[in-house]
């Protein structure tokens, strides 16, 4: 059994200039892969930049800040167009799947049913991993697909699961449930990838901090990942310096050394 957790960091397509530094980190074994976050429609330069380096990639599709909300029927056409453009990018870089957010209540017409409709359509195009949401977003908006019960409506029928531990922590706090119990429920759905950023266990909304400032149980998180068949974790650092990966390196080293 492979007991090594493979750790990666995220780079947005608009930050493709950072890939050279990320490649150095890959060569010296600080990271095992890079997660490319697709955050812009024009991707020609990003494709060229990322193709220049032989490094394993995972992919995160466009999300709320890019105007994508698959729960909104009014945006269905633009949502699908943007996501299909991202899928084309992933295929160009020989990706195996793309992570996607499941949508939120942007207006009264938004619904889980609309998210499900879009996910069914996308499942015919390319493998999608659905990322579990917190209950509430940055602007206090209601998010969909936050609990294992909700996730089972779409996984594994139409997509796989990317388990975001930080989101799950906020859900466990809101429900008054022990994190290890909720994590084990998610583990039964067989996640195919993991996400983690720092946070505080008392929070019911995501509020990313560096891992060193977080009070999460990293030993528990490592145990959950090691029980999974797939052991790839993207550490999502709230980077303040857009021209450097030093903050990412500090988070990664902290996680590796934590007990």
CATH number of residue 128's parent domain: 3.20.20.150
Domain residues for 29? 6-257
Domain annotation covers residue 119: yes
Has residue 140 got a pLDDT over 90? Answer: no
Per-residue pLDDT averaged across 159-181, rounded?
Answer: 97
pTM of the model: 0.96
Domain annotation covers residue 95: yes
What is the average pLDDT value for the chain, to the nearest integer? 95
Domain annotation covers residue 1: no
pLDDT digit string (tens) for 204-220? 988 889 999 999 999 99
Calculate what percentage of the chain has a pLDDT beyond 70: 99
Has residue 1 got a pLDDT over 70? Answer: no
Per-residue pLDDT averaged across 170-189, rounded?
Answer: 97
Range in 124-128, 161-165, 204-208 the model is least confident about: 204-208
Domain annotation covers residue 152: yes
pLDDT score recorded for residue 3: 67
- Rounded CA gap, 68 and 40, in Å? 11
pLDDT score recorded for residue 10: 97
Per-residue pLDDT averaged across 90-99, rounded?
Answer: 97
pLDDT score recorded for residue 65: 80
Per-residue pLDDT averaged across 109-116, rounded?
Answer: 96
Q: pLDDT band at 113, cuts 50/70/90?
A: very high
Number of domains present in the structure of the chain: 1
Per-residue pLDDT averaged across 58-68, rounded?
Answer: 91
pLDDT score recorded for residue 100: 97
More confident: 139 or 102: 102
pLDDT score recorded for residue 207: 87
- Rounded CA gap, 216 and 200, in Å? 7
């Amino acid at each position: 059994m492979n007991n090594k957790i493979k750790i990666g960091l995220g780079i947005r397509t608009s930050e493709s200039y950072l890939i050279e530094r990320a490649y150095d980190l890959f060569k010296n074994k600080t990271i095992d892969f890079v997660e490319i976050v697709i955050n812009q429609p024009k991707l020609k330069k990003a494709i060229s930049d990322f193709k220049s380096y032989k490094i394993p990639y995972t992919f995160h599709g466009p999300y709320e800040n890019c105007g994508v909300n698959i729960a909104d029927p009014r945006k269905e056409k633009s949502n699908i167009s943007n996501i299909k453009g991202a899928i084309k990018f992933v295929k160009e870089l020989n990706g195996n799947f793309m992570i996607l957010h499941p949508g939120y209540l942007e207006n009264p017409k938004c619904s889980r049913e609309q998210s499900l409709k879009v996910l069914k359509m996308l499942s015919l195009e390319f493998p999608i991993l659905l990322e579990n949401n917190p209950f509430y977003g940055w602007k206090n908006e209601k998010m969909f697909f936050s609990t294992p019960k909700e996730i089972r409506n779409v996984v594994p029928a139409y997509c796989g699961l990317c388990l975001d531990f930080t989101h799950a922590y906020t859900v466990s706090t809101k429900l008054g449930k022990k994190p290890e119990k909720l994590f084990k429920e998610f583990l039964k759905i067989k996640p195919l990838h993991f996400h983690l950023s720092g946070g505080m266990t008392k929070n019911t909304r995501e509020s990313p901090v560096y891992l060193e400032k977080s009070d999460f149980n990293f030993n528990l998180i490592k145990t959950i990942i090691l029980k999974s068949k797939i052991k790839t974790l993207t550490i999502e650092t709230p980077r303040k310096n857009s021209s450097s990966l030093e903050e990412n390196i500090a988070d990664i080293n902290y996680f590796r050394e934590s007990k």
